[in-house]
């Protein structure tokens, strides 16, 4: 899994590529946590390069959305691929997290 963080005012985009599984979820969690700690609470997870996730990955997403909202921001997802969308749906996360077709749409969803 690779992670690239990009500031796209007014949001912070975390581009994730690869598998978010039991081996990589902690790294993702730590990266997202760092952003929240730095005050970047308007977060976007770009999942257009993520082909696999398990409950370990969802744990990281859930913890992040809780913390971001507590801090007055949010954690929104962009470009979710069908297999990952299925996992989000099975867990009911599609009703908790806001999903956008692409990063541009997710950035535009935050008030400037």
Partner 1 sequence: MSDEGAELEMEEEVCEARRERLGDLLAFVERACALAALDADVAFDVRLATEEVVTNVIEHGYAGAETPGPISLRFHRDPRQVVVTIDDLAPPFDPATVRPADPSAPLEKRRIGGLGWHFVTRVMDEVRHEHRHPRGNRLTLVKRLAED
Residues that bind partner 1 (CB under 8 A): 21-23, 52, 54-56, 58-59, 62-63, 65-66, 69, 83, 87, 90-92, 95-96
Peptide bond into 10 cis (omega under 30): yes
Q: Given the structure tokens 């370990």, which residue do they identify?
A: 56
Q: Which is nearer to partner 1, 11 or 60 (CB)?
A: 60
Q: What is the β-pairing status of strands 11-20 and 2-8? A: antiparallel
Q: How far is the CB of 6 from partner 1 (least distance, A)?
A: 26
Q: What is the dihedral of CA 88, 90, 91, 96, to 10 degrees?
A: 50
Q: How far is the CB of 29 from partner 1 (least distance, A)?
A: 10
Q: How far is the CB of 22 from partner 1 (least distance, A)?
A: 5
């Amino acid at each position: 899994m690779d992670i690239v963080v990009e500031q796209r005012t007014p949001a912070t985009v975390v581009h994730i590529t690869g598998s978010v599984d039991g081996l990589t979820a902690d790294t993702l969690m730590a990266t997202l946590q760092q952003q929240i700690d730095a005050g970047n609470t308007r977060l976007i997870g770009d999942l257009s390069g993520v082909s696999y996730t398990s409950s370990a990955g969802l744990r990281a997403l859930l913890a992040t959305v809780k913390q971001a909202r507590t801090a007055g921001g949010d954690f929104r997802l962009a470009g979710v691929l069908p297999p990952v969308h299925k996992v989000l749906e099975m867990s009911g996360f599609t009703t908790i997290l806001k999903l956008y077709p692409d990063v541009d749409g997710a950035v535009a969803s935050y008030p400037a």
